[in-house]
Amino acid sequence: MNEPSMNRRRLLLGSAGLLGAGIAGRLFAAPSSGARLLLVFLRGGYDSTNFLIPYSSSFYYEARPTIAIAKPDPASNTSALALDADWALAPAVRESIGSMYMQRQAAFVPFTGTEDLSRSHFETQDSIELGQPMTGPRNFRSGFLGRLSATLTGPARDNSSIAFTEALPLAFEGAATVPNLSLKNVGKPPFDERQARILSDMYLGHHLAPAVSNGLELRHEVAQEMAEEMSAANRNAINTKGFELEAERMARLMRDKYRIGFIDIGGWDTHVGEGGAQGALASNLSSLGRGLQVFSSSLGAEWNHTVVVVLSEFGRTFRENGNRGTDHGHGTVYWVLGGSISGGTIVGEQRRLVQGALFQDRDYPVLNDYRSVLGGLFRSLWSLSPEQSSRIFAQTSLLDLKLV
How many residues touch another protein (CB under 8 A)?
Answer: 55
Considering the complex, what minimum distance in angstroms separates the CB of residue 174 from another protein? 12
Binding region for another protein (CB under 8 A) out of 76-84, 146-154, 161-169, 339-347: 161-169
Q: Which stretch binds another protein (CB under 8 A): 50-58, 106-114, 261-269, 390-398?
A: 261-269
Q: Work out whether the CA dihedral 174, 175, 176, 179 comes out positive or negative.
A: positive
Closer to another protein by Cβ: residue 285 or 399: 285
Cβ(344)–Cβ(101) below 8 Å: yes
Residue 166 binds another protein (CB under 8 A): yes
Closest CA to 332 of 118, 111, 121, 90: 111
Among 34, 122, 154, 354, binds another protein (CB under 8 A): 122
Helix, strand, coil shares of the chain, percent, nearest 5, are: 40, 15, 45
- Quick check: 322 binds another protein (CB under 8 A)? yes
- Measured from the Cβ of residue 308, the count of other Cβ atoms closer than 10 Å reads 24
Q: Are 138 and 393 in contact (CB under 8 A)?
A: no
User: Considering the rule CB under 8 A, would residue 174 count as an interface residue with another protein?
Assistant: no
Among 95, 128, 126, 159, residue whose Cα is nearest residue 294? 95
The reply to whether 179 sits near another protein by the rule CB under 8 A is yes
Q: Which of 142, 321, 350, 380 binds another protein (CB under 8 A)?
A: 321
Nearer Cβ to another protein, position 79 or 180? 180
Question: Residue 71, interface with another protein (CB under 8 A)?
Answer: no
Of the candidates 330, 394, 302, 306, the one whose C-alpha atom is nearest the C-alpha of residue 120 is 330
**120 touching another protein, by CB under 8 A:** yes
Counting beta carbons within 10 angstroms of the beta carbon of residue 207, is it exposed (0 to 12), middle (13 to 18) or buried (19 or more)? exposed
| 218 neighbors 179 (Cβ within 8 angstroms) | yes
Closest alpha carbon to 165 in 145, 185, 177, 183? 183
Question: Is residue 138 at the binding interface for another protein, with CB under 8 A as the rule?
Answer: no
Give the nearest distance from C-beta 165 to another protein in angstroms. Answer: 8
Tell me if 134 contacts another protein by CB under 8 A. Answer: no
Per-residue binding string, another protein, 191-220, x by CB under 8 A, is: x---x--xx-xxxxxx-x-xxx-xxx-xx-
Q: What one-character-per-residue DSSP string does 258-313 give? A: -SEEEEEE-----SS---SSSSHHHHHHHHHHHHHHHHHHHHGGGGGGEEEEEEES
315 binds another protein (CB under 8 A): no
Question: Which residues of this protein are in contact with another protein, per CB under 8 A?
Answer: 43-44, 117-123, 140, 163, 165-168, 170, 173, 177-182, 190-191, 195, 198-199, 201-206, 208, 210-212, 214-216, 218-219, 266-267, 269, 271-272, 321-323, 325, 327-328, 360
